[in-house]
Amino acid sequence: MKFDTPATTNPIDTGRVVGQAVDRIDGARKTTGTATYAYEWHDVAPSPAYGYVVGAGIGKGRIRAMHLDDARRAPGVLAIVTAQNAGKLGKAKRNTAKLLGGPEIQHYHQAIALVVADTFEQARAAAQLIRVDYAPEKGRFDLEAACCFDSKPKKDAIPDTSVGDFAGAFAAAPVQLDARYTTPDQSHCMMEPHASMAAWSGDEVTVWTSNQMVAWAREDMATTLGIPKEKVRIVSPFIGGGFGGKLFLRAESLLAVLGARAVHRPVKVALTRPQIPNNTTHRPATIQRIRIGANRDGRITAIGHESWSGDLEGGQPETAVMQTRLLYAGANRMTSMQLATLDLPEGNAMRAPGEAPGLMALEIAIDEMAVKLGMDPVQFRILNDTQVDPEKPERPFSQRHFVECLRLGAERFGWSRRNPRPGSMREGQWLIGMGMASAFRNNLVTKSGARVGIDSSGMVVVETDMTDIGTGSYTIIAQTAAEMMGVPLDRVVVRLGDSAFPVSSGSGGQWGGNSSTSGVYAACAKLRQTIAERAGLKAEDAVFEAGQVRAGGRSVPLAQFAGVSVEDSIEFGELDKKYQQSTFGGHFVEVAVDLATAEVRVRRMLAVCSAGRILNPKSARSQVIGAMTMGVGAALMEALHVDKRVGFFANHDLAGYEVPVHADIPHQEVIFLEETDPISSPMKAKGVGELGICGVAAAVLNAVYHATGVRVRDYPATLDKLLAGMPVVA
């Protein structure tokens, strides 16, 4: 199905199932422990061996020699896989670093060996016996040094932008802001570690893994092994969190395949928690400079945003300036991204890549500008709203209810009770602050397919390689099929995460829910037509309801069409070029800051989201409150600390890398605007899973500023940074 004209009235508009806050259909399996995750497969490949990954002990250099004899003689050891005996390996196009290093070492904890043994304990013990002689080289581990403000590091392919005369307009502006902000390296810290089990059957391999993008993993595994992708099967039905960290083929999957080939047995491999930050990907640190010029009435006349980040050779920048190109009006504009080559582990996508760290800077800058102007922060943002792409005024937004989000949020949060003077609100020893920030994330859509049919019992069966990373994919796909085929939700079976199924959008970038359900919509539309024709009914008149199809006074049960199955996919046309498609929101936060210790307590949070049709408000709310919680972590505690002597993240576990817990977040409220976007997709939906984190960190720190008068521009806002500016307690 080609989607190239705005969606009109269609079967899902009835809202009988789609749009309802139903429980997750996979919830019982997850709560009873019967949902099978990557490391838990048993019967499908009996008697697996176990692999333990050995990571490089230097951040840059070469391996002179690896001494493996002691490890080979250890009890239970079956094989040791290294770059020397793994055979020729290609480089997957989506990986910046080699998944199996040696002799060259690109980053700390790059996998250099896999020890395979009968038990996990034997593999781990033997791995400790491997001795490696390194030839260390001087590496580049410091973003500040590689990317200082006056330098021009290596440019990435994404071009700078310029509209009007930014430099002239900024210089002439009566009110100016020129500020520098930094965001640190961050880790995904998903609950389930990277894990895989592989088994060969002849020249074909099956990998049970934890991966968000099944089709990408299959393609990249085949490329790396140098075999046709038809020889690779990827199975990933349940994923215990990803946040972008499982978008790509990772070392444990490849090593499980290589280990299984070496020992002629299934092999399980999981990364230990300390290996994950350094071996896999992370959100890269940024240095950002924001300049804003405005008239005294508050209208922005010049806005410029520059960002510096680092990655391995051949990597990509953190696209932290992209939201600044679209969020606020202003005739004179400039954005620039610079990329430094660093020898740190690979920087790549983490929840809301680009917008999350970009808004951490931009939304503090907007708050600072409001203070300079003596304006209310909400009103300043509303004043500078735009209904068209500021860089291309001829291109309108498909929908833009940004102002409605801010006004409704301010009303529901009680913003009018806020005394604008910093430090003026107090309860005993606690300074009280209220802050807010805008939320923005582009609506991304991508081709997605599905197979839908009727089985022998009359159940509607949906198969697609779409994944569920805890987001509720099973449920919204079932809701779509139930609505389209006119059956109750319990008459739908959904099968996900298998490369034997039609290729979907996969889960990532906030595109998964909208795109994958649109693919199911397309397949169901084809099935409806097929069934109507076989029933001798006019397809355009057929009504699917209560397990029946009827038209012209005739009614036929769907069960009569057992065995009928069709495939189709949604392909998106040029609407995204004619209309700017984005999602919007407003975040409001209240904090209390201890006057003596600077301890910050988040007391309440509100998010108002504009994201098209919400397919399941219950699971969507879960997505947003989780994202809000991640935003609190980014604001107050999360940072990977680089040991700049040897080039690794020192706090590489959940003891040293702190994240918020339930007790840190006492009250969260989420409001979804009631809307549909016919330009976005036949579902008239948009993504919402990443919108929830965009702007949250800035809202927290704007609240901290309001409570204390201390402005923190270098994330996270740890106690030392706050205490340095806090008033002295008598």
Read off the pLDDT of residues 314-334 as tens digits, 9 standing for 90 and up: 999 999 999 999 999 999 999
Compute the half-sphere exposure of residue 561: CA atoms within 13 Å on the CB side of its CA: 27
Query: pLDDT-derived band of residue 91, with 50, 70 and 90 as boundaries?
Result: confident
Tell me what pLDDT residue 150 has: 47
Query: For the domain 40-138+192-279, what is the CATH code?
Result: 3.30.365.10
Give the single-character DSSP code of 565.
E
Q: CA-CA distance, 196 to 246, in Å (whole number)?
A: 12
Q: Strand (E) positions, 330-459?
A: 332-341, 388-389, 392-396, 426-427, 430-442, 448-454
Rg (CA), the chain: 27
Tokens for 151?
């330098």
pLDDT at residue 147 is higher than 80: no
Tokens for 494?
């959904």
**For tokens 């020699």, what's the residue?**
65
pLDDT at residue 647 is higher than 80: yes
pLDDT at residue 151 is higher than 70: no
CB 544 within 8 Å of CB 16 = no
Strands 77-82, 111-117: pairing kind: antiparallel
Query: For the domain 354-443+581-723, what is the CATH code?
Result: 3.30.365.10
Task: Say what the pTM is.
Answer: 0.97
> What residues contact residue 173 under an 8 Å CB cut-off, 6+ apart?
293, 294, 295, 301, 302
Q: Strand (E) positions, 171-325?
A: 175-183, 195-201, 204-209, 232-235, 267-270, 286-294, 300-311
Q: CA-CA distance, 670 to 629, in Å (whole number)?
A: 12
Strands 448-454, 565-572: pairing kind: antiparallel
Question: Which CATH architecture fits 2-35+448-573?
Answer: 2-Layer Sandwich (3.30)
Q: How far is CA 187 from the centre of its chain?
A: 12
Rounded percentage of the chain residues whose pLDDT exceeds 70: 98
pLDDT at residue 730 is higher than 60: no
Work out the number of other CB atoms within 10 angstroms of the CB of residue 557.
Answer: 12
Compute the half-sphere exposure of residue 265: CA atoms within 13 Å on the CB side of its CA: 17
Question: What is each CA distance from 662 to 265, 605, 625, in whole angstroms?
Answer: 42, 13, 11
pLDDT at residue 95 is higher than 50: yes
* pLDDT (average), residues 129-149: 91
Give the distance between the most distant pair of CA atoms in the chain: 87
Tell me what pLDDT residue 598 has: 97
Buried b (16+ CB within 10 A) or exposed e, 130-169: bebebeeeebbbbbeebbeeeeebeeeeeeebebbebeeb
CB 220 within 8 Å of CB 93 = yes
pLDDT at residue 149 is higher than 80: no
> What residues contact residue 40 under an 8 Å CB cut-off, 6+ apart?
none
Helix (H) or strand (E) run with residue 575 in it: helix 575-578
Tell me what pLDDT residue 729 has: 62
Query: pLDDT-derived band of residue 277, with 50, 70 and 90 as boundaries?
Result: very high
Strand order in the sheet with 543-545: 543-545, 548-551, 554-557
Q: How far is CA 255 from the centre of its chain?
A: 25
Query: pLDDT-derived band of residue 383, with 50, 70 and 90 as boundaries?
Result: very high
Tell me what pLDDT residue 228 has: 98
pLDDT at residue 338 is higher than 70: yes
Q: CA-CA distance, 214 to 233, in Å (whole number)?
A: 9
Q: 3-state DSSP call for residue 377?
A: helix
Query: pLDDT-derived band of residue 177, with 50, 70 and 90 as boundaries?
Result: very high
- Whether 690 is catalytic is yes
Q: 3-state DSSP call for residue 307?
A: strand
Query: pLDDT-derived band of residue 387, with 50, 70 and 90 as boundaries?
Result: very high
Q: CA-CA distance, 100 to 251, in Å (whole number)?
A: 7
* pLDDT (average), residues 203-218: 98
Q: Which residue has the higher pLDDT, 159 or 176?
A: 176
Q: CA-CA distance, 304 to 189, in Å (whole number)?
A: 33
Query: pLDDT-derived band of residue 158, with 50, 70 and 90 as boundaries?
Result: confident
Helix (H) or strand (E) run with residue 95 in it: none
pLDDT at residue 155 is higher than 70: no
CB 242 within 8 Å of CB 281 = no
- Residue type, position 290, single letter: I
pLDDT at residue 148 is higher than 70: no
Tokens for 340?
């430094």
Q: Long-range contacts for 8-11 (Cβ within 8 Å, ≥24 apart)?
A: 8/678, 10/521, 10/682, 11/483, 11/484, 11/544
Q: CA-CA distance, 210 to 271, in Å (whole number)?
A: 12
* pLDDT (average), residues 280-297: 98
* pLDDT (average), residues 466-478: 97
Q: How far is CA 354 from the centre of its chain?
A: 10
pLDDT tens per residue, range 99-125: 999 999 999 999 999 999 999 999 999
Work out the number of other CB atoms within 10 angstroms of the CB of residue 424.
Answer: 14
Q: CA-CA distance, 3 to 9, in Å (whole number)?
A: 14
Tell me what pLDDT residue 727 has: 76
* pLDDT (average), residues 114-141: 98
DSSP characters over 136-174: E------HHHHT-TT---PBPSSPPEEES-HHHHHHH-S
Sign of CA dihedral 518, 521, 525, 530: positive
**For tokens 């094989």, what's the residue?**
79
pLDDT at residue 358 is higher than 90: yes
Tell me what pLDDT residue 259 has: 98
Lowest mean pLDDT among 142-156, 243-257, 590-604: 142-156
User: CATH 3.30.365.10: which residues of the chain?
Assistant: 2-35+448-573, 40-138+192-279, 354-443+581-723
